[in-house]
Amino acid sequence: MFGGLAVPANSPHLRKSGSRAVVYDHDEYEVENGSDDDLLHSIEANDSRGGTTPMSGSAMTPSPILLWRFKVLLFLIWGCICCKIGWDSVMRMSADKRDLFLYEAFLYFNPLLLAALMVWLWGINLWFFAQGGVNYAKIFDLDQNHLTHREIWKCATWMTIIVPTSMTAYIYLYSHGEVSYAASQPVLLYAAIMLVLIFPFDIFYFSSRYFFLRTLWRIVFPLQAISFADFFLADILTSMVKVFSDMERSVCRMVHRQVATIAWLEADSVCGSHSVAIPLVLVLPYLFRLNQCLRQYKDTGEKTALLNALKYSTAVPVIFLSALKYHVFPERWTNFYRPLWLLSSVVNSSYSFYWDVTRDWDLSGFTRIFKFNKPNLFSYMLHGRRWVYIWVIGSNLVLRCTWTYKLSAHLRHNYLTVFTIAALEIFRRFQWIFFRVENEWNKMNSKSHMQLSMSEMSNEEEKLLHSNNYNV
């Protein structure tokens, strides 16, 4: 599935219908399943008629490595052009407006950049699973048309190209006085992404888009038994609350026609930091995950689901106590609400870290995730190395604590710092996925082995009973 394309011997592109199968030797010469004399006579007859031997299809197509290098070169040229145009456009602005405008431009485009980063890393996850022998299609109950890591990377490539291009056009048009055209850039970008996502026709990976939207629907309305794909995607959404909160502010500005203006930063408006929609959007993914845990407890009766629900509920005080800074007096916030916010942050980070290591990963999952079927440099560097476990556990603890910074609305004044922390949280989730998926894979294998052993035992008992009856 994940290897190169194998050209079948009976391909119509290589030979005519009804002819014998074609085999290629190591020198890439075409040899039919006949004798060498037959081949020699056919070549001489062809030469006598003035004809030439047909060239193979592989000789006419360029090398995949050459195409890959050409694409990388084009990508680098495109990146340099965007950086040049963006830098020159920013330098045209006055110093007093430059920072405010960059903050506004960053607000529209940084959530899509973070989403592209998540797609890139998800493709890497799938590549590792394919190399490590983890059947992720079976784990997520995917059909035969599911996207491979190469198709995931293709989507991420287009996102990486389109979003910065739109951002460059936005900065260029605004700096050259075309404010109305600049304001249309983020609107068109968001509308195009939404249309591609909900496009009802069988193009743009229709089955995968349908599966994604159906899973989102099941997350928002957990009216059925919770599958692994449901709560797995919901966990990823909790790491992307920064994306959703900035999208909410961007759409709010589009609705109120405040795009390509910076006056709202000086006089706070309905889309500013005081908006109650920001904490509501931040808390929604955690509420969805909490409802899933409650539904799981209702279906299975496992008390572990209630403890997991308690973990997600600890994020609610962190979000709302932080948002109170914009709605209470400064002295009240400093003396009363801020200590409560710090306490709730410690509880949330500690509980989440404990659950990651002991429940989601189960520690026994640190076994085979980096062991490839074909040993190479990665398997030698990663598999069975103590520093890998120390790095994953240590970085998970640190990034769990820093993630509180993102959940806290009163700490979002430095947008570059928040963007960096949001990107690091996506990277933490990228690491988490490896061990969470392998833990589930190990559970599935243990269940299948147990069922197989039980069936073998029952078959042996039947044989023994049959032999006893026969002897009687």
Q: Please give the pLDDT value at position 376.
A: 60
Q: Is 181 exposed, middle or buried (0-12, 13-18, 19+ CB in 10 A)?
A: middle
What is the rounded average pLDDT for all residues in the chain?
Answer: 79
Cβ-proximal residues to 276 (8 Å cutoff; 6+ apart), any chain: 323
Q: Please give the pLDDT value at position 461.
A: 52
Least confident interval from 337-341, 402-406, 434-438: 402-406
19 vs 47: CA distance, rounded Å: 20
Q: pLDDT of 207-227, one tens digit each?
A: 999 999 999 999 999 888 999
Q: pLDDT of 143-171, one tens digit each?
A: 888 899 999 999 999 999 999 999 999 99
Q: Please give the pLDDT value at position 427.
A: 95
Higher pLDDT, 468 or 196: 196
Domain ranges of the chain: 22-50, 314-350+399-409+416-433
Q: pLDDT of 260-282, one tens digit each?
A: 776 655 445 577 767 788 889 99
Contact 354, 362 (CB under 8 A): no
Give, for 310, the enclosing helix (H) or strand (E): helix 303-313
User: Residue 82's pLDDT band (boundaries 50, 70, 90)?
Assistant: very high
Q: pLDDT of 279-301, one tens digit each?
A: 899 999 999 999 999 999 999 99
Q: Please give the pLDDT value at position 353.
A: 92
Q: Which DSSP string corresponds to 366-384?
A: TTSTT--SS--HHHHHHTT
Does the pLDDT value for residue 125 go beyond 70?
yes
pTM, whole model, 2 decimals? 0.79
Count other Cβ atoms within 10 Å, centred on residue 438.
Answer: 25
Q: pLDDT of 16-45, one tens digit each?
A: 333 444 444 444 434 444 444 554 455 444
